[in-house]
Structure 1
Amino acid sequence: MTIVVAQVPAGWNVETNLNTVREVLSETRTGDVVLLPEGMLSGYSEDLAPLAGLEPAAVHDAVAQVAQLAEQKQVQIFCGSLLPWDDGWCNAGLFFPPTGDYQVYRKINLAMNERDRLRPGTHLPTIDIPQPDGKVTVGVQLCREIRFPEQWQYLASAGAQMFVYLTNAANTREVDGVWRSHLISRAAENQRFLASANIAHPDQHCPSMVVSPRGEVLGELRPGQPDLLRHTINLNEVASWYLGQRRQDVLSLAYRGSEPSATRRG
């Protein structure tokens, strides 16, 4: 499966963001799995005050346009956006298959700056990516959720073969290298592939990269500048050797298989 990670800017102008998405997709090939950062369609920043001026209709239209682009290009897109939801807004990771449809993961562990403005999700669904040889199951996480390894282990236990991580991480208060280390750990401890897409920003503190189930960095973009990373992964490398050795008689994470899958049509 070929992954294309896009490290691009995302501001508070929906049409500008859509043009950036179009530019990225002009560089893709049929069948690519494309990752775009957190807040890619709506815009996002630590200060969420501009959210008050964001038109829900404009965001809904942008989502519909990306669904059409995925169908036209015959690619599969993971893309972040703030979304209108439940009389408010949520922080979401969207998956657009090449069928004109889409699915939504709503961030469950909100950052402190989000908690008075956004509504948290309540489920950790997996998403199935159709491939020529069968489906690939993916778990999506957003930004701050890198700090909560139990969520990633839950997704791996639920069948995720790869983690898709979308972030908008540009904070000068963060210690250099910590989030990069977290990404490697989440991949290696669960023996899953991990692909990360961050915004292009001078203060970027989390890399855009692809990590193997062994924790090997397979490709990484230089911080601070727009760029694309293309890498083909071999999913036969995914394993559950470590997960199978857990002392669940002492400590276990409950997996309730009856929880709903990622919501369709927002």
Structure 2
Amino acid sequence: MHASLLQIGPDEGESVDSRRTRVASLVREQAGVDLVVLPELWTTGAFAYESFDAEAEPLEGPTYEVMAAAARDAGVWLHAGSIPERDADGHLYNTSLVFSPTGELAAAYRKIHRFGFDKGEAVLMSPGEDLVTVRLPETTLGLATCYDLRFPELFRGLVDAGAETLVIPAGWPERRRGHWSLLARARAVENQAFVVACGSAGAHAGVPQAGFSVVVDPWGEVVGELAHAEEGVLRVRIDPERVGVTREQFPALKDRRLR
């Protein structure tokens, strides 16, 4: 199974419509791989709080339409990062979209843990409630977003639901990059699962991004990494059978006592 992580970032001189078009072209360039992953809130920037309300869109809005078409044209499973979603009642969510190679919506995940404590996303966005997995031909994805990475119980729940590959788009700040790399490996080791973590490039509303998109195998070894915070594409080969082999050879998950 081959995956492409598109480490992109917002350009201050670029409209959201132009960014959608540019990113859709990048997705189409990944034809031939199995899974493509985009970062968190790439249409606005994860720290561009003042843009959330203005750029919020319904689930099946402009980003949905453009990304569905790109997934279909490329023939890939596409985790289209996340968007600021506005539901029918006016609530905002940080929502991830996953499309099948035919352009159908396979899953939507509303971010459960919102960052910001008493400001920003934490007060502007509503929390999601549901754990979400997606079955691909080769593996089962478990969906999480950025700040979720700090909450191991979420990933235990995803593993209990059958997840073998944990996909985490993020707008992670550069000043905590050490935590990003550490937690990505920790989630892989403790859950004996692949971690596919796609970071953002550049800066979001003046907040430098960590970049360093990374794929970690179930033993905690780094399969591939973009060792910078600039825009780029990380292409890796993932062997889904390593999950079962690791869990069989070192069956730590079977020894869990607290659930």
TM over 0.5: yes
CA distance in 1, matches of 2:184, 2:59: 33
- Counterparts of 1:207 and 1:165, CA distance in 2: 13
User: What's the secondary structure of 1:238's corresponding residue?
Assistant: helix
Q: Identify the residue that residue 181 of structure 1 maps to in structure 2.
A: 182
Q: Work out the percentage of aligned pairs sharing the same amino acid.
A: 29
The equivalent position to 1:155 in structure 2, one of 146, 153, 158, is 158
2 CA distance for matches of 1:237 and 1:58? 35
Map 1:98-177; keep pairs closer than 5 Å: 98-102=101-105, 103-112=107-116, 113-129=120-136, 131=137, 135-172=138-175, 174=176, 176-177=177-178
Residues 107 and 141 of structure 1 are in contact (CA less than 8 Å); yes or no, is this contact kept in structure 2?
yes
Counterpart for residue 29 of structure 1? 31
1:245 equivalenced with 2:255 (yes/no):
yes
Q: Supply the AA of the counterpart residue of 1:87.
A: G
| Residue 219, structure 1, aligned to residue 224, structure 2 | yes
Which position in structure 1 is the counterpart of 2:19?
17
> Relative to 1, partners in 2 of residues 1:153 and 1:14: Cα closer, same or farther, differing over 3 Å?
same
TM-score relative to the length of structure 1 = 0.84
After TM superposition, the structure 1 = structure 2 runs for residues 43-58 of structure 1, keeping only pairs within 5 Å, are: 43-54=44-55, 56=57
Cα distance in 2 for residues equivalent to 1:116 and 1:215: 34
The answer on whether the counterparts of 1:177 and 1:206 sit within 8 Å (CA) in structure 2 is: no
The residue number in structure 1 matching 2:213 is 208
Counterpart-to-counterpart distance in 2, 1:58 and 1:147:
26
- Aligned residue identity for 2:34: D
Say which SS state the counterpart of residue 116 (structure 1) adopts: helix
The size of the alignment, in residue pairs, is 242
Structure 2 gaps, min length 5 = none
Matched with 1:94 is 97
- Structure with bigger helix share is 2
Q: Supply the AA of the counterpart residue of 1:73.
A: A
CA contact 1:106–1:121 (8 Å) conserved in 2? yes
Give the counterpart letter for 2:22 in structure 1. Answer: T
> Please, what is the CA RMSD of the aligned residues?
2.0
